Amino acid sequence: MTDLSWLVPLPVVIPLFSAGLTLALYRRPRVQPIVSVSALTLVLLASVALLVLADDGPLVVDVGDWAAPVGINLVADRLSALMLSISSAVTLCVLLYSLAQGRDDDEESAPISIYHPTYLVLTAGVANAFLSGDLFNIYVGFEILLAASFVLITLGGTRDRIRAGTIYVVVALLSSVLFLVALASIYAATGTMNLAQLAIRLPEIDPGVRLVLQVLLLLAFAVKAAVFPLSSWLPDSYPTAPAPVTAVFAGLLTKVGVYAIIRTQTLLFPDGRLDDVLMWVALATMLVGILGAVAQDDIKRLLSFTLVSHIGFMVFGIALSSDAGWTAAIYYVAHHITVQTALFLVVGLVERVGGSTSLTRLGGLAKATPVLAVLFFVPAMNLAGIPPMSGFLGKLGLLQAGVQAGTGLSYVLVVGSVVTSLLTLYALVKAWNKAFWQSPSDQPRPVGMPFGMVGPAAALVVVGLVLTFAGGPLYSYTHRAADALRTRTPYIYAVLPDGQRGEGESAEAADEADAVAPDPTPSATVGGDGS
């Protein structure tokens, strides 16, 4: 096999480079879209290639050719590659959608010249967080995507967006500080930030300290992933942003947090001591989230609450700590990214045609625009988990894994997920009845739906359906991913072939490291020898 690991950094490098390019081209609003669309298309191709290649084993790149524990490394294993492929497909669709919206609408809701660079930086940050094999680099990835998301959520700087953005920014910064504290403590305890080396060293330290580190990391990620009780910022801040921005946030940003939870729980803390706590948290997230959704009468807020509630499903799968649980959780993440993004894009169309997102004022859309009705109905039923769609497959996998675990708590969670699914169905059917069947209070304005907006939204709906039809291969792929996560050795050996050092150039240091290798405690030489 030829060495194709040069593909690994591309999903980070291409968007960052094009972000600079589009920023330089801010006076050329016609060239900007071409640059960003082609950049994201290339990223999609690279990610799909990685998806295929990573199935044979993780691909590792030591950045700058520095050996692994000293330098930063990027790792594409099955989990990262799958997340990356789904997310780049979604970002490309959302970009196309926003372009069409920008062409048709006024400046305020439309992409202004800063939109393209920021959006590209956002995708680079997401890719960096997915690919990073270094805990501190994950932090950097988070910060990149957060900084971009701050700009996107306050786009235009209107009163509403500033109000909602304030809460979002402050909460995000607080979680970053928590993450930093966790990183500092981890470095103090183990003397490394490299995920693979951490996986080797963490079991050797005091179990009490390890528990503290685990809790700190989980808290930081739970804020980002919007896990109850750290979720209340989400339904407040997301709905005010422009439709494409909300869509990409809802689809991706919380899932980056979920990915980080999966990665750390499986690789760093495989003993699963917090699983019971996570189970309860998952139950609370599901129920509180969906009850919030039932109470809403604004369709964007309703969807934001269902987003929170369905994070609970993923946490449930992670907390099961079994092959089956992780398989289902990873599949569920892939399914949820596409479906939630598709729904928010369709709601953007609903807002455009109906002139509002309030369910009291919307009405009669089924008759006015049958295409829109279909586009809403399919992902809505998919989210609720109606067979045979991908939501059903994901939920079925989770329920099976829960029953397999067979503890009392897991049965409680199984019942909780069924109740949550039913309530999701109720909330979405209510939204459907109001927006599409209720007789309209006033005649809908005759607004055309540009194909540029319908096309990408439809494409995402179709991707959701493809996840169903390709359910078999995809599920076995996530199963292999979960299997690799459980054994942990493929990841560790890919990064540190001899258990000590990566393949980068620091032969001299490697000799020294061999000399001091048996000493697992942090030593000044380990840090200082990256020459």
Partner 1 sequence: MIDMAPNLVLVVTIAVMFTVGVYLVLERSLSRVLIGIILLGNGANLLFLVAGGRAGRPPIVGLEPEGQMSDPLPQAMVLTAIVITLGMTAFLLAMAYRSWQLNRHDEVQDDVEDRRIARLAAIDLRAVQDADTEESGQSLDEEAEEARDETDDRREGGPS
Where on the chain is the footprint of partner 1 (CB under 8 A)?
Answer: 70, 136, 140, 143, 146-147, 150-151, 154, 157, 159, 162-163, 165-167, 169-170, 173-174, 176-177, 180-181, 183-185, 187-188, 191, 193, 235-236, 295-298, 301, 359-360, 363, 430, 434, 438-439, 441, 519, 521-525, 527-531
Contact at 8 Å (CB) between 40 and 92? Answer: yes
CB of 146 or CB of 311, closer to partner 1 = 146
Are 495 and 72 in contact by the 8 Å Cβ rule? The answer is no
Least separation in angstroms between residue 489's CB and partner 1 is: 26
Q: How many residues does the chain have?
A: 531
Q: How far is the CB of 201 from partner 1 (least distance, A)?
A: 14
Residue matched to tokens 């894009």 = 345
User: CB 430 → partner 1: shortest distance, Å?
Assistant: 7
Closest to partner 1 by CB, 233 or 331 = 233
Q: In angstroms, give the least distance from the CB of 187 to partner 1.
A: 4
Nearer to partner 1, 162 or 449 (CB): 162
N- to C-terminal Cα separation, the chain: 31
Provide the phi-psi class of 355: left if phi over 0, else alpha when psi is between -120 and 50, else beta: left
- Hey, which residues does 134 pair with through a beta bridge? 194
Q: How far is the CB of 357 from partner 1 (least distance, A)?
A: 11
Torsion of CA 203, 204, 205, 207, to 10 degrees: 50
For 434, the token pair is 């109001």
- In the bound state with partner 1, the residue whose beta carbon lies nearer, of 36 and 149, is 149
- Spell out a b/e string for 35-49, using b for 16 or more CB atoms within 10 Å of the CB, else e: bbbebbebbbebbeb
How far apart are the C-alpha atoms of 361 and 525, rounded to whole Å?
68
Q: Least separation, in Å, of the C-beta of 181 and partner 1?
A: 5
Q: Cβ of residue 256: shortest distance to partner 1, in angstroms?
A: 17
Residue closer to partner 1 (CB basis): 70 or 93: 70
Residue 520, judged by CB atoms within 10 A of its CB (0-12, 13-18, 19+), counts as middle
Nearer to partner 1, 38 or 360 (CB): 360
Please identify, using beta-carbon distances, which residue of 113 and 438 lies nearer to partner 1: 438
Q: What is the residue whose two structure tokens read 């909300």?
A: 246
Give the span between the Cα atoms of 476 and 346, in whole angstroms: 30
In this structure, what is the dihedral angle of CA atoms 244, 248, 254, 257, given to the nearest 10 degrees? -150
Q: Closer to partner 1 by CB, 121 or 127: give it.
A: 121
Q: Min. distance of Cβ 237 from partner 1 in angstroms?
A: 9
Q: Which residue's CB is nearer to partner 1, number 151 or number 447?
A: 151
SS3 state at 438 = coil
- Nearest approach in angstroms of CB 465 to partner 1 is 30
Closest CA to 298 of 238, 375, 339, 248: 238
Give the nearest distance from C-beta 136 to partner 1 in angstroms. Answer: 6
Tally of CB atoms within 10 A around 75: 26
Contact (CB, 8 A) for 87 and 252: yes
Compare residues 139 and 269 and give the one whose CB is closer to partner 1: 139
